[in-house]
Every structure is written in structure tokens, then in C-alpha cells.
Amino acid sequence: MASSISSYKKRTTLPYGVLLVLGLMTFFGQAQQDAQYTQYMYNTISINPAYAGSRGHMSIGALHRSQWVGLDGAPETQTFNIHTPVGYKGVGLGLSVVNDNIGPTSETSFDLDFSYTVPTSREGKLSFGLKASAHLLDIRFSELNQFAPDQTLQQDIDNRLTPNFGAGVYYHTDRFYAGLSVPRFLQTTHFEESSLSTAREQMNFYLMTGYVWEWRRNVKFKPTVLTKMTQGAPLQVDLSANFMFNDKFILGAAYRWDAAFSALVGFNLSNNMLIGLAYDRETTELGAAAFNDGSFEIILRYDFLFTKNNLRSPRFF
């Protein structure tokens, strides 16, 4: 990171350009991270292409996440995805668009997902997925205040296009699921022409699993685990526990190891539509009230059910 950068051009009382440290370290460090989601269990296709079409019908989802609310230049993420099984038995297709903004940087990703599913037992299905991606990167160095001009930070980066690809496997029954994926294989290097050439996109490995128990007649309990492994970054483990009441109301909590606690609530407005909300509170020093008001996330998902027997009850994953 260039030492001449002092702060981002928005109001802030944080010392030593902490916004830059929090926001731009994504690009100027060895371990670039994918967008982070608390409600990953409802947004699985964003991290695993093998999930495409696994719901048995067309499904559309949209998510917005505001991280570290009140901290200027903090990350914001919007996602849109659509996926469906297609005519040929076992094939699923998906499309995802992810827009990620951090301070003076923004990145938009366009993903095409392909999956092929084979039955492994009466209830079990194993899916293999491939992801093809295109990324547009913008960095507005002109929005930075600098104590002294740095020649490597004078020219903005506009719509720099980089391709990538990923893969995943996903196994599920009516009650259990597990998946392993790498959404980006290519470790794209940014700023090759400058002293910031160490900034690159690292591979992120995702391992996820969950199980649904019929705890009582009208109560379902679902614990889930998501593990994210990235070279040069600490191991990230997300633990969550959700209860669904009468196939309608969802209430849960989550813990991101050494990072944050989360509260989750959801409601199946019908067999077709789900709305989910999440609130995160950091357990690190960044979680102090003087820094931010926590992170908020909202997701909407709509399933196209063309026959009454297409789905016996709202899927919990």
C-alpha cells in the first residue's frame, strides 16, 4: 500500500485513513476476498455453480448487503441471480451478477453457471458445476486525498476486464446438503505496471454443509457450516442455526469465527416467495459503536412453481 495516501474524500473522523486500510486492502494485499454474505444458505449459487437448477424449478434471487453502516466508503454488495433446470434431464443453468463497492473501488462480476446432476440413491443427488466469469474493475484514484502525489496512483482504472472460471460439487437429499467449490481459479494480478503488482485475486475454497431436522410437528431446525479458505488470509468459519415454524417463519442466529455475531429472520410470504433479513455485529475492535452501526442484509427469492405438486413444502436450503 502506498504510504502517501491519507484518506478517502468523504466525511470521516477516523485516524490515519482507516477507510483506505479497510476498503482498499482488498486490492492492495495478497489475499483478495470474494463478496461476503451472512445469508449464504439462500444465495448458494453465488459460491457454488453446482447448485444451479437443484431446486427443481426456476428460481430468482436478489440480495443487498451494507457492511459497517456509518463508516464512509464501507463495502456494499448487490447480487442478482437466476437458475433453473433445463429440458435435458440433469442439466441446470444459471446467471449471476454481483456488484461490489468498497470506497473508490467497484467491481462487477457476470457469472454463467452450468451443472449436471446424477442420482446416487433414491433420495440423494450429486451435482457437478462449472462457472465462467467476467469481471469489470473500476478504481477512482482521483477520489483519494494524498499528502504527496504518487505517480502510481494518478491514473484511474476504468472497466478493466478480466475473465475467470470456477467449479464445484454439490450433494443433497431432502434434508441434507454438502458442497465444495472454488468460484475463481485464475489468480488475476492487478497493477502489473506499478509497484502495486502484488495485488491479486486468490483462490477461495468454500466447504459448506447443513441438515434439516423435524424437531417438532411444525418446527424444523437447520444448523449449517460454511468454511472459507484463502491463501494468505485467516480461516473463516460461519456457523448458523435456524428454526422454521409452520413452514412460514424463520428465526436464527449465526457466528462468524472471531469476527461477528448475526441475527437472521425470514418469512415465506407464499410457497413461491421468501424474504430474509440479517444483522451482523462485529466482535473485533471495528465493532465499537464509534466506528459503525453493524452490517445489514436483505434477500428476496422467488420460485416459479408451475404445478401444485412441484414442491411439497418450502425448501429450507
Report pLDDT for 139.
82
Rounded CA separation 300/39 (Å):
11
pTM: 0.83
Q: CB count, 10 Å around CB of 124?
A: 13
Q: Where are the domains of the chain?
A: 34-104+111-135+163-310
Report pLDDT for 228.
94
Q: What's the gap between Cα 20 and its chain centre?
A: 22
The CATH superfamily holding the domain 34-104+111-135+163-310 is monomeric porin ompg (2.40.160.40)
Q: How far is CA 18 from CA 50, 83, 112, 134, 282, in A?
A: 38, 39, 36, 30, 16
Confidence of residue 288 (pLDDT cuts 50, 70, 90): low
Residue that wins the pLDDT comparison between 8 and 147: 147
Q: What's the gap between Cα 315 and its chain centre?
A: 20
Report pLDDT for 1.
33
Give whichever of 105-109, 163-167, 185-189 has the largest mean pLDDT.
Answer: 163-167
Confidence of residue 12 (pLDDT cuts 50, 70, 90): very low
pLDDT in tens, 29-46: 433 467 889 999 898 999
Average pLDDT over residues 238-262: 94
With vertex at residue 268, the alpha carbon angle to CA 263 and CA 273, rounded to the nearest 5 degrees, is: 115
Rounded CA separation 95/45 (Å):
9
Report pLDDT for 229.
92
Rounded CA separation 263/250 (Å):
11
Rounded CA separation 156/37 (Å):
29
pLDDT in tens, 179-193: 999 999 987 665 545
